[in-house]
Amino acid sequence: MVYAFVLFCLSLFGFVGAFGVETDEMKSVSVIEGDTFTLQTDTEMKKDDLILWRFGAEDSPMAEVNRSAQSISVSESMKGFKDRLHLDPRTGSLTVRNIRTDHSGIYEVQIIGNKILRKTFNVTVYARLPGPVISRDCSSPSSSSYCSLVCSVVNVSDVTLSWYKGNSLLSSISVSDLSSSVSLHLNVEYQDKNIYSCVTNNPISNQTQHLDIDDLCQIHSDSECVCCCDSTKAVIQLVISALVGVATVVVLGFEITSRKAEQKRQTQTSTSVH
């Protein structure tokens, strides 16, 4: 009888507790790899409050603050966050230092007191953007009127690469998955005096490279000759290497044949003497 009463009380407590949970709308947070950011609880902890932080599908808390026990602890099982986490003892807010891209995911905090308050954060960590590089476009045929250019960026994901003329967008290309290289071409007149720039950006940052037409687009410049002749030079080098290889084989074959003939001649001479 007593056992049944205890079970009834526990069930009633759970029923009331379930309706005592307040859940905020999920917040989206974007940060750059290597930065430090803080997830705010937006509350002041009371003496008997307990705050639990979880990451992803982890069952056990990654960190917790217990005001009544005056303790702050970070789970050792969260190896990916080693020495990166800090908890505010007054608010329970969570700070992550030197964050990595694999720290993207869902962070949840439960503030347990007279009622339970639950907050969730969808954190997206973006890799730092490399700067775009502008160079002559060797793949395009040469022209007496236009200078062919290409803007490239390597090892990027979830970025947009764009050409601008002043503040006006000329062209752009976007990639979502990891890409080894992204390129965008542009033709400008040799005597063009407008300001051109190539920009790479993701949702929270950007990198800009301005075009120096006088430097890259000099007619009959040395850089143009190098640009146009790179492929021809590579072919010539391959042909020369092949010829050297063939010549080496011929010389070795001649030496081996000469040695065999000399040995045969010496053997015949020795036999005739005896």
Output the pLDDT for position 190.
86
In this structure, whether the domain defined by 133-219 belongs to CATH 3.30.1490.100 is answered with no
**Tokens at 229, concatenated:** 């002749």
Q: 18-126 with 133-219: one CATH topology?
A: yes
**pLDDT single digits (tens) 151-166:** 999 988 889 999 999 9
Split at pLDDT 50, 70, 90, the class of 65 is confident
Report yes or no on whether pTM surpasses 0.85: no
170 touches 194 (CB < 8 A): no
Q: Note the pLDDT of residue 267.
A: 57
What does the pLDDT look like over 92-113, one tens digit per residue? 899 999 999 889 999 999 998 8
Tell me which range, 33-37, 54-58, 72-76, 140-144, is most confidently predicted by mean pLDDT: 33-37
Return the pLDDT at 134.
95
Contacts of 78 (CB under 8 A, 6+ apart): 55, 58, 62, 63, 85
Look up the CATH superfamily of 18-126: Immunoglobulins (2.60.40.10)
175-205: pLDDT as tens digits: 887 777 899 999 999 888 899 999 999 889 9
More confident residue, 265 or 35: 35
Kindly list the domain boundaries of the chain, sorted by start residue.
Answer: 18-126, 133-219
Pick the residue with more confidence: 253 or 172? 172
- Burial (CB count within 10 angstroms: exposed 0-12, middle 13-18, buried 19+), residue 156: buried
Q: Is 155 left (phi over 0), alpha (psi -120 to 50) or beta?
A: left
Q: What is the mean pLDDT of residues 21-25?
A: 77
d(CA 15, CA 19): 7
Per-residue pLDDT at 20: 65
**Average pLDDT taken over every residue of the chain:** 76
Q: How confident is the model at residue 11 (pLDDT cuts 50, 70, 90)?
A: very low
Average pLDDT over residues 231-240: 42
The residue-averaged pLDDT of 2-9 equals: 34
Helix (H, G, I), strand (E, B) or coil at 268: helix
> pLDDT: is 169 or 49 the higher one?
169
Residue 117 has, within 13 A of its CA and on its CB side, a CA count of 13
Mean pLDDT, rounded, for 136-151: 82
pLDDT of residue 61: 81
Pairing label, strands 116-126, 27-32:
parallel
Q: Give percent above pLDDT 70 in the chain.
A: 68
